[in-house]
Amino acid sequence: MVTQSIPTVDLSPFCHENGGDEAVKKRAIEEVGRACSEYGFFQVVNHGVPLGLLARALELSQLFFDYPLEEKLKASPIPGAPLSLGYTKQIEHLTDNNEYILMFTPESSFNVYPENPPEYGEVLREMFPHFKKIALIVESIISQCLGLPPNFLRDYNNIRTWDVMAALHYTPATDGDGNVSGQSEHKDSNCISFVYQDDVGGLEVNKDGKWIPITPNEGTLVVNIGDVIQVLSNDKFKSATHRVVRPIGKSRNSYAFFYNVDGEKWVEPLPQFTEAVGEPPKYRGFFYKEYALLRLKNREEPPARVEDMINLNYYAIPTLKNG
Ligand SMILES: O=C(O)CCC(=O)C(=O)O
Ligand SMILES: [Fe+2]
């Protein structure tokens, strides 16, 4: 059997204060471009997020999520916050089995941090700016892969208040109950996502109908393209379908950073990928907050049938076949 694996790109030349080797950077950009067209996913090493901090964050997650529900609920979201920031357990009637802590940038007054373990809140606050830093670097690489100026995506949206970090925990699947879903197949609605998973594994990406497991690696962050990039690029880079499978008998922890655009941002295919190349737009435009709300509703009030979940097709412009 041939096992496929998604490409890994070394980001060290981009993390140099005084600029890295241009030829090496160019090769890395080409690699990312290929990975984005082929998989919508890639992995990065030498990304600058301290590995000791990532390891500590996973340890603290394990301690926190092992607490009784009563303790975890002490970090419940503040009513009226724009998003359920703090601790949430996925509602019982969903097949997905996970619980998580969500946070905005540490400056946000909506964040709710666990009081225990005592160090946890501090470590969560410390992680956020590291993710933000690497996201800015990757955003610039993706701009260039799309043939746009390095600062194009940053100039398009420079408001960082919608970025979200998640500490996720998946309970072990039990042998024989048939439900191994941690997160059912989905595409991320945001711009670019970053995932750090523990050594248990379970993240899988779909390529041409086949599920490819993403093997965990201590120094590696997983990166994937979200729906916003798919719309802006008029499908040049597609947001990849992925899922989390819960291993039997093993609890799994991960961190995800959802690099986003501001809710007020108007998202539509860019002229560079439509008019300039004679392609019709594949999506009608929308305010990002409108789509984000629809996606949130999927989660909080899921429709009876999975096929009724709202996704990007909601904005797709039907193509006229045969003239
Ligand atoms: O936990 C993971 O590894 C991935 C999580 C994910 O895909 C998501 O939260 O959108
Ligand atoms: Fe995801």
Over residues 259-285, the pLDDT tens digits come to: 999 999 999 999 999 999 999 999 999
pLDDT of residue 92: 65
- How far, in Å, is the centroid of ligand 2 from the Cα of 239? 10
Per-residue three-class SS string for 46-105 = CCCCCHHHHHHHHHHHHHHHCCCHHHHHHHCCCCCCCCCCEEEECCCCCCCCEEEEEECC
pLDDT of residue 5 exceeding 60, the answer is yes
CA distance 229 to 268: 10
pLDDT the model gives residue 176: 67
Confidence tier at 39 by pLDDT (50, 70, 90)? very high
Helix then strand then coil, % of the chain, to nearest 5: 35, 20, 45
With bands split at pLDDT 50, 70 and 90, how would you rate the model's confidence at 179? confident
Asked if pLDDT for residue 94 goes beyond 90, the answer is no
Query: Region 247-270: what's the mean pLDDT?
Result: 95
Ligand nearest, relative to CA of residue 102 = 1
- Reference 270, options 314, 231, 296; nearest CA is 231
Residues with CB under 5 Å of ion ligand 2 are 188
Q: Before 271, cis peptide (omega within 30)?
A: no
Residue 235 exposed, middle or buried by CB count within 10 Å (0-12, 13-18, 19+): middle
For residue 242 and ligand 1, the question of a CB distance below 6 A is answered with yes
| pLDDT the model gives residue 93 | 59
Per-chain mean pLDDT for the chain: 92
Mean pLDDT of 149-156: 97
- Per-residue confidence band for 241, with pLDDT thresholds at 50, 70 and 90: very high
Residue 122 confidence (pLDDT) above 70: yes
**pLDDT higher than threshold 60 for residue 239:** yes
| The token pair that represents 166 in the structure block | 């998640």
The residue extents of the domains of the chain are 8-262
Which atom of ligand 1 lies at the shortest distance from residue 168's CA? 1
Q: Decide: 253 in ligand 1 pocket, CB within 6 A.
A: no
pLDDT at 15 over 90: no
Name the residue at shortest CA distance from atom 7 of ligand 1.
243
Q: Does position 233 have pLDDT exceeding 90, yes or no?
A: yes
- Residue that wins the pLDDT comparison between 110 and 90: 110
**Residue 175 in this model has a pLDDT that exceeds 90:** no
302 alpha carbon – ligand 2 mean position (Å): 17
Distance 82 CA to ligand 1 centre (A): 21
Instruction: Determine how many CB atoms are found less than 10 A away from the CB of residue 176.
Output: 6
How far apart are alpha carbons 319 and 317 in whole angstroms?
6
Residue 1 has pLDDT above 60, yes or no: no
Residues pairing with 195 in the sheet:
222, 256
Residue 323: which pLDDT band, with cuts at 50, 70 and 90?
A: very low
Give pLDDT, residue 148: 98
Rounded CA separation 149/144 (Å): 6
Q: How far is the CA of 99 from the centre of ligand 2 (A)?
A: 14
Residue 198 Cβ < 6 Å to ligand 1: no
Q: For the ranges 74-83, 190-199, 226-235, 274-283, which has the lowest average pLDDT?
A: 74-83
Can you give the pLDDT at residue 218?
92
pLDDT exceeds 90 at position 20 = no
pLDDT surpassing 60 at residue 3: no
- Mutation pick for ligand 1 pocket among 163, 195, 223 (CB with most ligand atoms within 8 Å): 195
Cα–Cα dist 49/288, whole Å: 28
The pLDDT score that the predictor gives to residue 320 is 67
**Counting ligands in written order, which one lies closest to the CA of residue 213?**
1
- Which of 96-100, 116-120, 203-207, 287-291 has the lowest average pLDDT? 96-100
Q: Assess whether pLDDT exceeds 90 at residue 135.
A: yes
- Choose the residue to mutate in 168, 187, 309 for probing ligand 1, maximizing ligand atoms within 8 Å of C-beta: 168
Ligand 1 proximity of 241 Cβ (cutoff 6 Å): no
Q: Is the CB–ligand 1 distance for residue 295 below 6 Å?
A: no
Ligand 1 atom at shortest distance from the alpha carbon of 224: 7
Q: Nearest residue CA, atom 1 of ligand 1?
A: 254
Distance CA 143, CA 155 (A): 11
CA distance 52 to 68: 27
Check if 254 has its Cβ closer than 6 Å to any atom of ligand 1.
Answer: yes
Q: Who's near 165: CB < 8 A, 6+ residues apart?
A: 102, 103, 124, 127, 128, 131, 255, 256, 257, 258
Q: Which helix (H) or strand (E) holds 185?
A: strand 181-186
Average pLDDT over residues 66-90: 93
* Coil, strand or helix at 11: coil
Q: Does any ligand 1 atom lie closer than 6 A to the CB of residue 195?
A: yes
- Residue 145: pLDDT over 50: yes
**Fold classification of 8-262 (topology level):** Jelly Rolls (2.60.120)
- Between the CA of 271 and the centroid of ligand 1 the distance, in Å, is 31
% of residues, the chain, pLDDT over 90: 79
Tokens 């090496």 appear where? Answer: 24
